[in-house]
Structure 1
Amino acid sequence: MPKDLILVGHGGFCDGLKESAEMIMGPQDHIHTVSLLPEEGVKDFEEKFRRVYDALDNPLVFADLLGGTPCNVVSKLIMEGKPIDLYAGMNLPMVIRFVNDSLLGTQSPYHDKASEMIIHVNTILSGMADDEDE
């Protein structure tokens, strides 16, 4: 089970996601962020990612967008032989699941948790309205 998580993405998304997780779960020193900023290029991002990755022991990586530069840079490193476990499409339930897994010593399928948390709320609300009518 990885003890560290690196969030990679565009702009301030990673930092905001980490802050939101900390708001719910408390401080998370084992979650690291590497953001691609508007003024940076691929090489800048790769250098920042390598600095964080090289300081950790086999971290898990969540990326914001499949096909985006942060995900592509990490994918390239995987193809070069780096033992990186990478998930794209990160969201807050995935990060909270990682924190819970860290606390419990378990390992979850992160992609399952992410997709099961996509819920059309209107459908739930309409079901509630139907129950009230009965």
Structure 2
Amino acid sequence: MTKIVIITHGYLAEGLKESLEFILGKQQNLMAIPAYTKKYPEIKSVLDEIITKGDDVLFATDVFGGSVNNEIMARLKNNPQIRLVCGVNLPFLIQLFNSLLSVGLDPAIGEAMKAAKNGIKNCRDLSRSKGESFDSF
């Protein structure tokens, strides 16, 4: 079974996990790692521990090119069971877990990435295009 690990700078990972489970209920094989906090002041050892178990793992990080993402990128080449997606958001996670009910990991990642991108909107522009006004409250 695939393990999903949300790992971010600070406590964003825990907030995303809590929000996801508020919406979808408790999820098996989901872990949140708030990097560089009191609980995880360094991440190299916890990453190695997760990876050496040999399970398929999807790491979802906050920022491409950030230290968290770079630590995992350095491990990709020698660990084919690892997947890594950066820019994690709640629409990504919701779609990922819903898709995993019916498709494999790689197609689920693709569907989740589309949801993540489509979930970002400039609502001011949307309201203007429909002729609506927020000034009418």
- In which range does the TM-score fall when normalised by the shorter chain? 0.7 to 0.9
- Aligned equivalents of 2:2, 2:94: Cα separation in 1: 14
Partner of 2:63: 65
5+ residue gaps in structure 1?
none
* AA at the equivalent of 1:45: I
* AA at the equivalent of 1:26: G
CA contact (8 A) 1:34 1:48 kept: no
Once the two structures are TM-superposed, the CA of residue 56 in structure 1 deviates from its matched residue by 5.8
Return 103-112 or 20-29, whichever deviates more.
103-112
Return the match for 2:115 from 94, 113, 116: 113
* AA at the equivalent of 2:115: K
Return the match for 1:102 from 100, 103, 112: 100
Number of matched residues? 127
**1:1-134 → structure 2 map (5 Å cutoff):** 3-38=2-37, 44-55=42-53, 57-79=55-77, 81-83=78-80, 84-106=82-104, 107-108=107-108, 109=110, 110-129=112-131
* AA at the equivalent of 2:102: L
Structure number with higher relative contact order (C-alpha < 8 Å, ≥ 6 residues apart): 1
CA offset digits 1:52-81 (Å, max 9, x no partner): 3334611111111111111000000113x1
- Aligned equivalents of 2:33, 2:50: Cα separation in 1: 8
CA offset digits 1:24-45 (Å, max 9, x no partner): 111012211222124666xx21
Please give the TM-score of this superposition, normalised by the length of structure 1.
0.82
* AA at the equivalent of 1:17: L
- Aligned equivalents of 2:52, 2:25: Cα separation in 1: 26
5+ residue gaps in structure 2?
133-137
* AA at the equivalent of 1:85: R
The structure richer in helix per residue is: 1
- Aligned equivalents of 1:111, 1:102: Cα separation in 2: 13
Once the two structures are TM-superposed, the CA of residue 105 in structure 1 deviates from its matched residue by 3.1
Once the two structures are TM-superposed, the CA of residue 115 in structure 1 deviates from its matched residue by 1.4
